[in-house]
Structure 1
Amino acid sequence: MTDTATPATDEYEVVARRNPWQTVATVLLALFVVYATWAVATNPHFEWGVVAQWLTARTMALGALLTVGLTVVSMVLGVILGVILAVMRMSGNPLLSSVSGAYIWFFRGTPLLIQLIFWFNLSALVPVLRIGLPLGGPTLYEGSVNSLVTPLFAALLGLTLNEAAYMAEIVRGGLLGVDRGQTEAASALGLGSGRTLWRIILPQAMRIIVPPTGNQVISMLKNTSLVSVLGVGELLHSAQIVYSRTFQTIPLLIVASLWYLLMTTILGIGQRYLERHFGRGQEHSSTPRRRKKKVTA
């Protein structure tokens, strides 16, 4: 007598039954998107002709270029300082750990705009900068802080110091995500703490560090708009100069927004490639899957 074999459950794939209300909601949402797009495109108050005129203007392109420059310089310096702060925070030395913790607490707890305005007005606290040898030694440098702290310098200083506080926590989280056995194995091989950090721990922590760092780069790009209050000629300030003269506020703000969208989109694509690069070691080869039969639930 032959027994009828029961089919294995893993040969079937359960597929949810289509809900008619989902189809209705999809159609309604599509109609709303089409209506909203048509309303925006045909609204004369948006002045799309003016948008097209200024979108590729040299003034806006130079402002966007300065925005990218501020982002790159501030982000690179912020990452370097953030790594140093993260290592200090994880140090067994209570003084180093406390100083790093206080720095992170202060710069994460105060608004970036206030920090930028503070650095711009630093000359009110320190009118003259003197650098010299202690105990009455000769002065090596003496100059006016007002002439030293230009709007561009204040913008770079404020963005860098603020970003370093956030990057310190991101790097610290990445370092804590690496198995402690890696450090113990490196110590057993006779590697010093410095070589262990740069050669073993940091490369593995990059898989955790890269995604939030990519988000920080995009946030930094948008935060550069705050330096317009200092008179730095970045993208938003360039748009403000134009619409203060032409009184075409909305079209120029749309131009600035389109430039920001373009730059953040490019950064998002680069972030995905970096995540894929540093996540290669975590990809597991999957076994070939058997073809499953679909069963509607």
Structure 2
Amino acid sequence: MPELRTIAEGLRFPEGPVALADGSVLVVEIRRGTLSRVDPDGAISVVADCGGGPNGAAIGPDGAVYVCNNGGFRWHDRDGLSVPGGQPDDYSGGRLQRVTLDGEVTDVCTEVDGRPLRGPNDLVFDADGGCYFTDFGKTRAREMDLGGLYYALPDGSRVEELVFPLHQPNGVGLSPDGDRVHVAETGSGRVWSWEVLGPGRVRRGAELLHGFSGARMLDSLAVDSAGNVCVATLNTGEISVLSPDGELVEQVPVPVPDPLVTNICFGGPDLRTAYITSSGRGVLYETEWPRPGLAPHFTA
């Protein structure tokens, strides 16, 4: 079992980790509304104030950071955990944002075909420089949105809906050769997979990669170099590793129990360092992973 080491504590619901070439790690702090940098010594600094609820993040082809902003949550403090809730009174609307490392924030898109984005959650760039992203939707007192899978170019000139509806789509990732896109649904505990026919084109009809039993719910994910899908698993507070054919092969819990383990990314010179966000407790961990991660198409 990999040994996890604490890099930083006191983060305000960290998510969307991105490993940088200098050894630092970008994270969003959803409750703080920022894109932040964690240095190797654990020092935390704010890169940009994104407002709303910055969620997934990824480096684009221009070296900027692209952020899925869910518009914000209601927040609750329970038993030492920071817990997100439904749509807040100051909800700012969903959007895909471009953030430079010197702090400039601009919107790429806020709607698709005239329909507003509700709660963009996670994204991944393909080799052609476009990104697949999920819209989780928002939850209100007696209703909730349906979500979907989308594709966008970084300049906003193309934004398309690929799959709708999905139930709380969260993490999204591509297979090593880019021929499949995987999406984790939170509430259903299912990971779905679509064949990619071209940039931003998927074959109709999803294949179920894996359905989790019990009370396991899913958050974001990353794919390793062998094509395994490493998906953050809520309630049980661990990273679950699925083989390319959907077999559950490994589960890696965090050392201090947290039902809100939300994300994983890979970094280091050989991509063997995994960074894991324990969001309820505000902790960023690192560990040596048994296999190299999948190299992102774009880095900074």
- Please confirm whether the aligned pair reaches a TM-score higher than 0.5, indicating the same fold: no
TM-score between both structures, scaled by the size of structure 2:
0.20
Q: Name whichever structure is richer in helix by fraction.
A: 1
Which fold has the larger relative contact order, with Cα–Cα distance below 8 Å and residues 6 or more apart in sequence? Answer: 1
